[in-house]
Chains A and B, each alone.
Chain A
Amino acid sequence: MTFKQKIESDQFVWCGEIGPPQSCDGDVIRKKAQYFQGYVDAVNITDNQTAIVRLSSIASAKILLDEGVEPIIQMTCRDRNRLAIQSDLLGAAALGIKNVLCLTGDYQTFGDHPEAKGVFDLDSIQLVATVANMNNGFLLSGAEIKKPTQFFIGAAANPFAQPFEMRLIRLHKKVEAGARFIQTQPVFDLELFERWMDQVVQMGLHEKAAILAGVLPVKSAKALLYMKEEVPGVKINPEFIDRMNQSSDPKEEGVKIAVEIIQSLKKVKGVAGIHLMPVMWESIIPTIIQAVK
């Protein structure tokens, strides 16, 4: 059963995430794919995340397809104008890629080429609408596509950034534009997430789009502190940092925390699945999923 079919039949879904390497070594992706195979329904392939040049998202997704893992390509607005976006999407569709996650993209000064020109011709909401438009058989020029794409469209949401209501407005716009699944930023503050989710359910958005809550397993307290200080828009419950600090085996504690968060998230009304983001720690996926199931 594909990722889309599973969501449409209201089954609980699991997503993973792979960051492609900063080289042309496709075996890295093949190796990482093994950790996900049989455990998750689809795997995100990041698109030059944090504005650092990496193996292309679409090429990596093709490698995943060949390995028998369903990919979700990420498409950012930072690197492409509307011509490149549509052309890349047509190419991805031709390769058999079915899922696309539409993102604005991290600002270029955070990456390895801070002097680069950021494109931002579209924003993520307009990108969602553009893909929906292509599914309906049209390019942005108004020209008809002979063979329309059939993408399952996703978008991101950040329940933890300010201002709270604006986040719901953005989510509403994304769903209205055509997003059918939503992946959130990693949850480290359950209370705030539950409050956000409560509003999402009241607005009925969880019925129009599947909400997949983000979970990020961490190896050390340092990683948590880094995210708290350096990554904007991430909120971390100090309890988790204390626990990681006091633990004699931080890796095990990290898994424990991730499992606890997932179990709490599964109980939250409206959560349709979990999106696991094991940044550079893909090998932990089987352990976490087995522990939860």
Chain B
Amino acid sequence: MRTDLVTFDKPPITAQERKFSRVMLFFESIIKVPLFHCQHCGECILSSTAFICCQNCPKRLRNGPCGGTREDGACEVYPERKCVWYRIYVRSKRLRRISLLYKINKIHDWNLEGTSAWLNVFKKRIPGPIWLVRNDQQKVKDIIGHDVQAED
């Protein structure tokens, strides 16, 4: 069984913790909603998506854009918006965090929906954020074996 798809043996969420999680979520929302339009998935991967919440994608994709991103980078479902993953790519490029986009993100655990991601990190249900990425270009090179010549 591959372990990079789902996490097994997560500590269960008790009724008491659920109450506490609501309090935590209140404070988490104060920061995350205005800054990132947080959707409260409870399984935060903001740090690997250049601090843009990928859960704003209509399909809630966690592993990159679908095939419908338009020429100008707009979303196929809401043409007035930019594709979330287009923005993630552009910012990852600027912040030199492209190597993080190569990682396959796990299947979403819907039990964590609406819980505090901070508490889930503390309880070791989900991995903590990745703050610093060093030598991004070298890491990408190691993954794919050569430089990618990106356009624009």
Chain A residues with a Cβ under 8 A of chain B: 78, 82, 104, 106-107, 109, 118, 120-126, 129-130, 132-133, 136, 138, 140, 142, 156-158, 161-166, 168-170, 172-173, 176-177, 185, 199, 202-204, 232-233, 235
| Contact of B58 with A by CB under 8 A | yes
CB distance from B140 to the nearest CB of A (A): 9
Q: Is the CB of A136 within 8 A of B151?
A: no
* Given A161-B69, A163-B73, A203-B146, 18 other A-B residues pairs in contact with their CB atoms under 8 A: A78-B59, A104-B59, A109-B77, A118-B59, A126-B5, A126-B106, A129-B4, A161-B70, A163-B69, A163-B89, A163-B90, A165-B89, A165-B93, A166-B64, A166-B85, A166-B101, A173-B63, A176-B104
A-B contact pairs, 24 of them (CB 8 A): A104-B67, A107-B58, A109-B77, A123-B59, A125-B104, A129-B4, A129-B5, A129-B104, A140-B6, A142-B6, A157-B67, A161-B67, A162-B86, A163-B90, A164-B151, A165-B93, A166-B65, A166-B85, A166-B86, A173-B102, A177-B104, A199-B148, A199-B149, A233-B69
List of B residues within 8 angstroms of A118 by Cβ: 58-59
The 6 closest A-B pairs by CB, nearest first: A158-B67, A232-B76, A232-B68, A165-B150, A138-B1, A125-B63
List of B residues within 8 angstroms of A202 by Cβ: 145-146
Q: Is the CB of A170 within 8 A of B63?
A: yes
CB distance from B100 to the nearest CB of A (A): 10
List of B residues within 8 angstroms of A177 by Cβ: 104
Tell me whether A233 and B63 are in contact in the complex, defined as CB-CB below 8 angstroms, given that A165-B89, A173-B104, A204-B145 are known contacts. no
List of A residues within 8 angstroms of B101 by Cβ: 166, 169
Proximity bits, B43-78, A CB within 8 Å = 1, else 0: 000000000000000111111111111111100110
| Contact of B8 with A by CB under 8 A | yes
What is the bound-complex CA distance between A161 and B46, given in angstroms? 24
Tell me whether A161 and B1 are in contact in the complex, defined as CB-CB below 8 angstroms, given that A168-B148, A172-B102, A235-B71 are known contacts. no
List of A residues within 8 angstroms of B68 by Cβ: 106-107, 161, 232-233
The A/B interface has a contact count, at CB < 8 Å, of 130
- List residues of B (103-119) whose CB comes within 8 Å of A's CBs: 104, 106-108, 110
Q: Is the CB of B63 within 8 A of A203?
A: no
Q: Tell me the interface secondary structure of chain A in the complex.
A: mixed
| Contact of B130 with A by CB under 8 A | no
CB distance from A238 to the nearest CB of B (A): 13
List of A residues within 8 angstroms of B150 by Cβ: 163-165
Q: Is the CB of A120 within 8 A of B61?
A: yes
Q: Is the CB of B5 within 8 A of A173?
A: no
CB distance from B35 to the nearest CB of A (A): 23
List of B residues within 8 angstroms of A122 by Cβ: 107
List of A residues within 8 angstroms of B85 by Cβ: 166
List of B residues within 8 angstroms of A78 by Cβ: 59
What is the bound-complex CA distance between A177 and B101, given in angstroms? 14
What is the bound-complex CA distance between A133 and B6, given in angstroms? 11
What is the bound-complex CA distance between A106 and B68, given in angstroms? 9
What is the bound-complex CA distance between A278 and B67, given in angstroms? 20
| Contact of B144 with A by CB under 8 A | yes
What is the bound-complex CA distance between A126 and B5, given in angstroms? 7
What is the bound-complex CA distance between A268 and B2, given in angstroms? 35
CB distance from A140 to the nearest CB of B (A): 6
CB distance from A218 to the nearest CB of B (A): 19
| Contact of B31 with A by CB under 8 A | no
